[in-house]
Amino acid sequence: MLIGIDDTDSPQGMCTTYLGAVLARRLIREHLRVLEARLVRLNPNVTFKTRGNAAIAIAVDGDMSTAFKTACATVEELSEFSCANTNPGVVVVDRPPDPAFYRKAVTDFCTIDEAAVILESAGALYRGYKNRRGLIGATAAVACDFPDATFEILTYRKQEQWGTPREVDRASLFAAQRATFPHTWDTVDEINDVVVCVPHTPDPVLFGIRGESPSWVMAARQMIASEKPALEQIWVTNQGTDAHILPGRIGELREGLSYRIHGTVADAPRTGRGGHVSFAIRDSGSTVRCMAYEPTKNFRQIVRQLVPGDTIIAAGSYKKGSLNLEKMKVVSLVTAKSVRPPVCTACNKRMASAGAGKGFKCKKCGAKADEPDVKEIARAVEPGWYEVPPTARRHLAQPLCRGTPGC
């Protein structure tokens, strides 16, 4: 059977994955066999989310009503019910429902009623608390199928330490990544000198190591020196798989969905207030603005190198009329040219325009010339994929160290 849980935390505390790790141990104490723990990220553009729009599913063998009772008791004990935006959902099914619901929940928006219809037809045991919104994530979690998956080991703090500064040795994090990359990723951001895997929120997570297999995340985890965690859990997850990205076409994009689109750069990238870089791309007469926000740091340097006529594939979420870039492929580059007045052969000074369509004239000696000085500019960018740095990466975005999208 599968137990799905979502929406138990608030910005002030708790984490659905911690609750899941506690539940897994309680189930074992109740003589159920825990087979797998799944961390299921859903549409990152859902506004109700607390942080990373995560739900969990635990695969278990044993008595269904014991599993349901234990799950509900754990949710009732640990959820942040006082937060208006915390609406837990608990689901137990003896076999996974149609994965189409998971696929919709990770790429699009679902309703509580849609989840309830699926749960009824699956004969699920389920309970939605307060406004029952957590049933959406809990149902998606038990319906998930992962054509591609990664792993994360999450370590959790002792309760008396929640809300206090985390003690994790910085140097050991950098060493762990160096020793295990590209089999693990996003522990630290080397270029920006930032620790990525230790949260700053008051929740129970101490740190999390992401990687391609349980043995690689364990190998990195064992190199990390820190305060003693209370609990550790390896999760199989859709993080780092681009599960949220749909193939899309400019002119047909829907608000709050995430796409991979082809286009030709239509205007030169501009850096606006706050350091955010924007430019438009065009395809078949439609255009869309692409954004590389300030937190994407060095990625903006690549974006700034684009010129009109270059062709790219852009991937990211479509929000408020813009595609917020997560990664980008430079497909082809135009030959960039600089066009300036020519240099006067007699005075060795640059001429000035003699007026529209009248060529050029030397201000000093009056010499005239018809043709401008055209030079090819060497392009500082090469065709290929580029991505935002680890510090700006969304949970679902596939890092390029896992391979490039097949397009």
Residue ranges that bind ligand ATP, judged by CB under 6 A: 6-7, 9, 15-16, 42-43, 46, 48-54, 87, 105, 109-110, 133-134, 136-137
Closer Cβ to ligand ATP, 166 or 350, answer by number: 166
Distance (Å, whole) CA 278 – CA 323: 10
Closer Cβ to ligand ATP, 180 or 239, answer by number: 239
Burial of 100 (C-beta count, 10 Å sphere; 0-12/13-18/19+): exposed
Closer Cβ to ligand ATP, 180 or 238, answer by number: 238
Q: β-pairing, 322-332 with 384-387?
A: antiparallel
Closer Cβ to ligand ATP, 70 or 86, answer by number: 86
- Specify which residues 263 forms β-bridges with: 312
In the complex, least distance from residue 86 CB atom to ligand ATP, rounded to whole angstroms = 6
Give residue number: closest CB to ligand ATP: 137
Closer Cβ to ligand ATP, 42 or 220, answer by number: 42
In the complex, least distance from residue 287 CB atom to ligand ATP, rounded to whole angstroms = 28
In the complex, least distance from residue 402 CB atom to ligand ATP, rounded to whole angstroms = 21
In the complex, least distance from residue 50 CB atom to ligand ATP, rounded to whole angstroms = 4
E strands, 230-367, where? 231-237, 245-247, 258-265, 270-271, 277-283, 286-292, 311-319, 322-332, 336-340, 352-353, 360-361
- Please list, in sequence order, all residues whose beta carbon lies within 8 angstroms of the beta carbon of residue 337, skipping any fewer than 6 positions away: 374, 375, 376, 377
In the complex, least distance from residue 81 CB atom to ligand ATP, rounded to whole angstroms = 12
Q: Which of 221, 203, 275 is nearest to 19 (CA)?
A: 203
Closer Cβ to ligand ATP, 183 or 319, answer by number: 319
In the complex, least distance from residue 244 CB atom to ligand ATP, rounded to whole angstroms = 10
Q: CB neighbours (10 Å) of residue 274?
A: 7
| Lookup: tokens for 55 | 């739900």
The alpha helices in 122-212, defined as continuous H runs, are 134-142, 170-180
